[in-house]
Structure 1
Amino acid sequence: MEFLLLGPVQARLVDQPVHLGARKQRLVAAVLALEVNKLVTTQRLMDLIWPEAPPPTARGIVQGHVSRLRITLAGADAKTVSLTSHGAGYCLRCDAGRIDVHRFHTLVQQARGSDDDTSRVALLEQALGLWRGPALADAAPEETRLRLTQALDETRLLALEERLAAQLRLGLHHTIIDELTALAAEHPERHQFTGQLMLALQRTGRVSAALQVYQDAKRLLADELGLDPPDELQRLHLAVLRGEDDGTVPFSEVVASPTPRHPPATLASAEDSDEQVAGLLVPRQLPPDIVDFTGRTAELARVEAVLDKDISGTPVVVAIDGMAGMGKTAFAIHLAHRVAERYPDGQLFVDLHGFAPGVMPISPADTLDGLLRAIGVPTQRIPLHTADREALFRSHLADRRMLVVLDNVLDEEQVRPLLPAAPRCLLLVTSRRRLVGLDQARPITLGAFSADDAVAMFTQIIGEDRLAGESAETIGEVVRSCGRLPLAIRIVASRFRARPAWTLADLAQRLGDERRRLAELSAGQRDVAGAFHLSYCHLDADQRRLFRLLSLHPGADTDGYATAALAHISPACADRLLQDLVDVHLLEEEQADRYRFHDLLKTYAAEIVTAEEPYDTRRLAVTRLLDYYLHTAAMAMDAVAPYEKHRRPHIDPIAAPRQDFASEGEALAWLDAERANLLAVAEYAARHGWPTHTCRISAILWRYLQLRAHSSDALRLHNLALQVARLHEDRINESHALRDLGALYWRLGRYPTALDHFHQALALFREHADKDGEAYALSSLGALCLRSGRHSEAYDYHGKALALFREVGNRSSEAYALNDLGLVCQQSGWEAEAMDYHRQALALFREVGNQAGAGYALIELGVVYHAWSRDDEALDHHREALAIACEVGDRNLEFEALHDLGVTFHATGHLQEALIHQQRALELASRLNQLDDQARIHDALARTYRDLVLLDQARAHWERALALYTQLGVPEAQHIRVTLQAL
């Protein structure tokens, strides 16, 4: 059986057609044949059949198409063709030679390997003869078809160019003029066809027709793109004008031959060449300036400042780098026009095709050949060898002030032979790579536009009239969807300008669908995904694999250890590959050892990983990453709060390399740096089938989030864990989430909600006989009772909690229970008993190494000393607690220390000292968004302002305290109300 994809999708057995079904089923067959003997995932088939949004039954529909195809193929040719199922997708198994696409590729490769042009033509004609029309012509909508066949179509055009080039070399120019005329008209963007047509016309004596072809191409480029013809066409035009065609025409060497060959040339000595200096041309090769150039003010100023101040006696080399679509060429051209008058001896411009579709990068030898011709060196005086050309070029620039722009450079080796030695020359180089090997170069890296520059560019292209009445928010949304990438903004703005029926809201909606965004960022030869693809294709296999896998990371950035876990490689290897991707601007390193994607690049990488990595491989990589974050977070919390290790879930060691934390400070620094990633990982795990990871991350991080007072993060994470646990009927993790949410609601002053969560948690802890959890819930219920003035109940709860903590041997929690019993005694007026409990708590906290707990015990001891009018001792205890709070980063403890220092200073008559500490406490309480703390500090500030006889300020703070206490529903509200009435 044969599969025919180069035209309408068909299958044949001998000469009989095999019916492949309706359109969508033929698309499934075509994709499986394109990927013959490889796994094609069900998800990829769904994405291709329904690019907008698959229906709920999509997976079943795909299974139905595959089932029918399997029956058809088995009935037609079961011996040589089979369609097999695997967990993640399907695989068509047969000899690739039975599929015309693969026969086409084989013939093209054979032609390229041939040294004989006659054989090359025959093989390429056989390959091109397999095409019966556009590939996959009737199997998919045009957008999907192009997505599948873009590379294939490009290979066909390259094969055409190579076959025509071979025919030119064989002297068959008469026979191909009609074909070239049609191809040049159909593909005006492919300058190879234009150049080949000019050569064929010239060689048949039709010089005027060849010149007219050039003029037509020049006019088309100027009208549609505002560009001059490329260097190759300009040189060919000059050769036709001069009547030169002895096989050394540069265009015929660079384009018309797949392997450029350099025929013998007459070597010119340096002395002979120097005699021609006076007769050299003054080239003006810069493309037209970009009329709507926007932004880059700082970068332009940096280069011009260098030119103003440079007295080094060496040429200025500026290496402009940035990711694809960042506007490097536009920047270089605009900069060149701004400074062109400083270089009266000429301006040279060469596109080196370092990253160009279907075109080999131009070698230094060929580039030097073109540069020498551009400054007027006769063909016969251009040396054969690169080193001689290099010396000749530098000799001619020695006494000249010239500007040279080398655009689209692949690497340093492509540039190094072209560096001028003349001290008054300027060389501008653009590349997607950081050319760190050019020691004398001054680097300029172009990043994404600022928000203002992005809006300015969008507005300038479209025109303010068209945008009249549109909201600034919608414009901002559009440029954000473009990732503030100049190429993307230009594409979107040009498309919007060409569609008067669209509103900006229509455009924003089209760009809002991330699955379609890259497809929207394509217009003619401008294509963001295509630009990214060129950069991707220049990576080696390891770099490409890592680039793909990094898109699976659910967070905003990554480091070497997380990357190593994701890709299953060593941290050293991960670091090297990450740096490689930074060097080619496929990753950004905004701070040392932290790496992130540009938004559009991540979207592109996500499409690539889905297309090229099987589902099982992707899931295994994500599992390794989630395990890494879970394990490392547990290790970090073991360093921060070792006394609570028993309360955190047990995490099995991982095989991947991991970070070790030498101190609590290192662990907290890691948690601070990874907080956003840990939350993103937890949310991703909940949505995509790792529910246990979500619950464990929540249980591991609760103390850290409390220490740092990240209340909104804690609320999101613990609620997510609760939802996941209930969905999966995981009663143990449900109890932990309820406990952590209860503690959070308590701190936020939402006492009824906290009470409800603790009662639910208590019931679950008792259900699965978790005595430590039961004790924690009892202790928390005691704190709530105390807050509402129910001292006897509070004492009872804390006493039961203390007994349970001692039963299970939880020494740190035992200390907290002792401290809580001291609080009950303190508020009941039993200061001596309170002092005894707090001293026991402090000793126990210090014994188990719980610094934060010791800080809270010191606070309460200070309160008792203050009640006994021993204020110097109270201040000492509060100051020690404040020092501990700052050392361990516990912001709640810091607030308590500041508040109680303020109270004590106020009581001793040091009102200004009191005010300083209370204002710091108010600022902190506002940041923490904890209502009870805010109410307490407003009350304290009001008392201080009253004693300073600043009654307006006192009233304002009491009114705020009253509003907060009323909202909390606590007894203090009535006391404040009475105070205000008496003021």
Structure 2
Amino acid sequence: MSQLRIGLLGNFEVTTRDGAKVTPTGKQRVLLASLALRRGRTVSVEEITERLWGDGPPAASATTVRGHVKRLRQALVVDRADSVIQSIDGGYRLEVDREALDVCAFDLLVQRAAETDDPDAEAELLRTALNLWRGPALADVPCESLHREVVPALEEQRRQALHRRIELDLAAGRLAGLVAELHTVVAEDPLQERFWAQLMLALCRAGRPAEALTQYERCREVLAGQLGVDPGPRLRELHGRVLAEDPALIRARDRVEITVPRQLPSEVTPFVGRAQEIAALDGVLAERRGSGVVVVDGPAGSGKTALVTRWAHRVLGEFPDGQLYCDLGGFGPEAPTDPFTALGTLLLGMGTRDLPPCAGSRSAALRSAVAGRRVLLVLDNARDAEQVRPLLPGNGVLTVITSRNQLRALVAGGGARRITVEELAEEETAELLTALLGQDARELAAVATGLPFVVRLLAERADRLGDVPLAEFTAGMREDATRAAVVGEHQVSALLRWSCAAVPDDAVALLRLLGTRADSVGLCEAAELLGRSRAETDRMLDRLAEVHLVRVSGRGRITVPPLVRAFARTAMPPDRHSEM
């Protein structure tokens, strides 16, 4: 028997034994699906013809069917073995193991679940079976008759398995993530009263009966609007029991598994300064009562994450239902985390065990998971607004985002508050260096950058060269060559390269030119340096300012921060594509 794998529960998938993917054409998908659904049994040429062309087959349909079968056989050959498609008296038959088809594997798991006497084992078997579904059955198989005659039965089998698994979870008191999952289920299949009933029961057992009554009204409106009917007797009875505060509805509450995430990173120590920024965060918390969105932006290395982490640990008591954290990797050596993956991380943090199959469903599930709970969400190192938007859970949660990008779209169109983090003042830099080195470092602070990331690297370098007195080390730092060496260190250089990677090539070229100037320049001078129009230059400067690579004053003066200027002079490659 062949080790071929054929997936019908979602988009069509064919995988050979060695893991190679086969991509059948539309007609081939219809043909193979027709044979797979009748595994081990003969499908007549007439039925295949009807599946392929409906009521309008071509004149030589039998010959065309043979051509499709021949090409499909060639695509499915495994290690020169005999074809898995056999010709049988006026038809064709697919000869593969049951385990080769996800449809059959699903049936086997559901059957095993029904035969076990252990409720926990039954729930786990059903969970495994449901995980085989990657989307709607035969999602990309272009055959109207299969979708009309076969898909409804497959979808009903999935619903029955899902209903039973949720029933077992409710009985066992496994409520973590269940309310969020059921919100997604009723949103995708709103006419299924059995799932509305389970959602109401899950809410009651989670101690949220008022929300259960709200969901009943939503169900009633949906049924009236789409079918013109009222909820059935089971749902009406459950509604009455909720109103009567029936204690039997919460009989499993003593076993409720409510996940309280505690995902904040540890605080960075020593920590100095930032009193103004912390006060601003406190103000947002008080003003918005633990809800809304805050953008904490600033240059690379300015300590945004350390600031937010420090503040978040101070206000843990304001968020008793948990703190979620996700590093979005917006500026770093790897590709930024896509919203689908980030949503999965956040849902797992909230205790969701069965992750929805698409980003939209995951976003809805996250909103449901945090509904009615006082949760802090920290989204660290965001690339841009597009990456963040699907992750925002809406009202009731305070979301704090850190980014080198100003995320202007969230501030302008999403009502987010912005708090910008700049370099430390010289006295704060001295305090941090002194704490790190264990000796007075005011003179070193006078020649050091105020970016905490670089200050820590500088302190590590001074400590590593322990045989060099701090005064001598400080004197060396006053020399451009030594400054350049520090900037050229891999960590600092990479830090700024990742910022440059977020802006267009022409803006990077302008930054390289601006790095040659010791003082600030005006817009006209910058345009002359680049040889472009003022409008084009202004656009490039705006992109650079958006990620804090330059500063543009209200009077149109452009300043390049010292660290960025040193990077542009000594470490920026002539052709950034050779490095980025």
Distance 1:293 1:117 in 2: 56
Alignment partner, residue 432 of structure 2: 457
**Match 1:355 to one of 306, 331, 349:** 331
**Match 1:346 to one of 297, 300, 322:** 322
Alignment partner, residue 326 of structure 1: 302
| CA displacement at 1:497 relative to structure 2 | 3.1
**Match 2:363 to one of 385, 390, 396:** 390
AA matched with 2:467: A
AA matched with 1:281: T
**Match 1:288 to one of 266, 278, 281:** 266
| CA displacement at 1:247 relative to structure 2 | 13
**Match 1:546 to one of 475, 485, 510:** 510
| CA displacement at 1:248 relative to structure 2 | 12
| CA displacement at 1:368 relative to structure 2 | 0.8
**Match 2:287 to one of 282, 305, 309:** 309
Alignment partner, residue 335 of structure 1: 311
Alignment partner, residue 377 of structure 1: 352
| CA contact 2:434–2:442 (8 Å) conserved in 1 | no
Alpha carbons of 1:119 and 1:483: their partners in 2 closer, same or farther (altered >3 Å)?
farther
| CA contact 1:344–1:402 (8 Å) conserved in 2 | yes
| CA contact 1:353–1:408 (8 Å) conserved in 2 | yes
Question: What's the secondary structure of 2:408's corresponding residue?
Answer: coil
Alignment partner, residue 564 of structure 2: 601
Distance 2:365 2:457 in 1: 42
| CA displacement at 1:333 relative to structure 2 | 0.7
AA matched with 1:541: D
Percent identity, aligned pairs only? 31
Show the 5 A alignment for 1:664-679: none
Q: Which whole-Å deviations, capped at 9, do the CAs of 1:933-968 have from their partners, x for residues lacking one?
A: xxxxxxxxxxxxxxxxxxxxxxxxxxxxxxxxxxxx
Distance 1:608 1:489 in 2: 19
| CA contact 2:292–2:394 (8 Å) conserved in 1 | no
AA matched with 1:269: V
Distance 1:402 1:318 in 2: 14
Show the 5 A alignment for 1:191-340: 268-270=184-186, 275=202, 279-310=257-288, 315-340=291-316
**Match 1:495 to one of 456, 461, 484:** 461
| CA displacement at 1:512 relative to structure 2 | 2.5
Residue 413 (structure 1) aligned with residue 386 (structure 2) = yes
AA matched with 1:489: V
Residue 367 (structure 1) aligned with residue 342 (structure 2) = yes
AA matched with 1:547: L
| CA displacement at 1:315 relative to structure 2 | 2.1
Give TM-score scaled by structure 2 length.
0.55
Distance 2:18 2:497 in 1: 34
| CA contact 2:260–2:321 (8 Å) conserved in 1 | yes
Distance 1:353 1:515 in 2: 32
Q: Which whole-Å deviations, capped at 9, do the CAs of 1:887-926 have from their partners, x for residues lacking one?
A: xxxxxxxxxxxxxxxxxxxxxxxxxxxxxxxxxxxxxxxx
Alignment partner, residue 88 of structure 2: none
Alignment partner, residue 520 of structure 1: 486
Alignment partner, residue 551 of structure 2: 588
Question: What's the secondary structure of 2:435's corresponding residue?
Answer: helix
Alignment partner, residue 112 of structure 2: none
**Match 2:477 to one of 486, 511, 524:** 511
Q: Which whole-Å deviations, capped at 9, do the CAs of 1:101-131 have from their partners, x for residues lacking one?
A: xxxxxxxxxxxxxx999799xxxxxxxxxxx
Distance 2:199 2:400 in 1: 26
Aligned residues: 346
| CA displacement at 1:610 relative to structure 2 | 7.0
| CA contact 1:491–1:521 (8 Å) conserved in 2 | no
Alignment partner, residue 445 of structure 1: 420
| CA contact 2:487–2:567 (8 Å) conserved in 1 | no
Alpha carbons of 1:563 and 1:533: their partners in 2 closer, same or farther (altered >3 Å)?
same
| CA displacement at 1:328 relative to structure 2 | 0.8
Question: What's the secondary structure of 2:564's corresponding residue?
Answer: helix
AA matched with 1:450: A
In our comparison, the structure showing a higher alpha carbon Rg is: 1
Alpha carbons of 1:609 and 1:522: their partners in 2 closer, same or farther (altered >3 Å)?
closer
Alpha carbons of 1:587 and 1:118: their partners in 2 closer, same or farther (altered >3 Å)?
farther
Question: What's the secondary structure of 1:400's corresponding residue?
Answer: coil
| CA contact 1:492–1:521 (8 Å) conserved in 2 | no
Question: What's the secondary structure of 1:515's corresponding residue?
Answer: helix
| CA displacement at 1:481 relative to structure 2 | 3.3
Residue 535 (structure 1) aligned with residue 510 (structure 2) = no
Alpha carbons of 1:340 and 1:421: their partners in 2 closer, same or farther (altered >3 Å)?
same
Distance 1:595 1:444 in 2: 21
Alpha carbons of 1:591 and 1:514: their partners in 2 closer, same or farther (altered >3 Å)?
farther
| CA displacement at 1:479 relative to structure 2 | 2.4
Unaligned regions of 5+ residues in structure 1, if any? Answer: 1-114, 121-241, 250-263, 468-474, 614-983
| CA displacement at 1:609 relative to structure 2 | 5.8
Distance 1:367 1:479 in 2: 39
| CA contact 2:343–2:391 (8 Å) conserved in 1 | yes
Q: Which whole-Å deviations, capped at 9, do the CAs of 1:9-50 have from their partners, x for residues lacking one?
A: xxxxxxxxxxxxxxxxxxxxxxxxxxxxxxxxxxxxxxxxxx
| CA contact 2:488–2:570 (8 Å) conserved in 1 | no
Give TM-score scaled by structure 1 length.
0.33
| CA displacement at 1:460 relative to structure 2 | 1.3
Distance 2:417 2:199 in 1: 31
Distance 2:130 2:553 in 1: 49
Q: Which whole-Å deviations, capped at 9, do the CAs of 1:295-346 have from their partners, x for residues lacking one?
A: 01111011102222335xx822110111111111111111111111100000
Q: Which whole-Å deviations, capped at 9, do the CAs of 1:835-856 have from their partners, x for residues lacking one?
A: xxxxxxxxxxxxxxxxxxxxxx
Show the 5 A alignment for 1:791-940: none
AA matched with 1:301: A
Alpha carbons of 1:582 and 1:449: their partners in 2 closer, same or farther (altered >3 Å)?
same
Distance 1:416 1:408 in 2: 14
Instruction: Answer with 578-587 or 497-506: which moved more.
Output: 497-506
Q: Which whole-Å deviations, capped at 9, do the CAs of 1:397-432 have from their partners, x for residues lacking one?
A: 110000111001000011111112233x21110001
Unaligned regions of 5+ residues in structure 2, if any? Answer: 1-14, 21-123, 132-157, 163-180, 187-195, 207-255
| CA contact 1:518–1:600 (8 Å) conserved in 2 | no
| CA displacement at 1:388 relative to structure 2 | 1.2
Alpha carbons of 1:273 and 1:459: their partners in 2 closer, same or farther (altered >3 Å)?
farther
| CA displacement at 1:515 relative to structure 2 | 3.1
Distance 1:389 1:462 in 2: 47
Alpha-carbon RMSD: 3.2
AA matched with 1:493: A
Alpha carbons of 1:510 and 1:246: their partners in 2 closer, same or farther (altered >3 Å)?
farther
Alpha carbons of 1:543 and 1:537: their partners in 2 closer, same or farther (altered >3 Å)?
same
Residue 431 (structure 1) aligned with residue 403 (structure 2) = yes
Distance 2:130 2:388 in 1: 24
Distance 1:368 1:580 in 2: 28
Distance 2:459 2:375 in 1: 36
AA matched with 1:558: V
Distance 1:498 1:545 in 2: 36
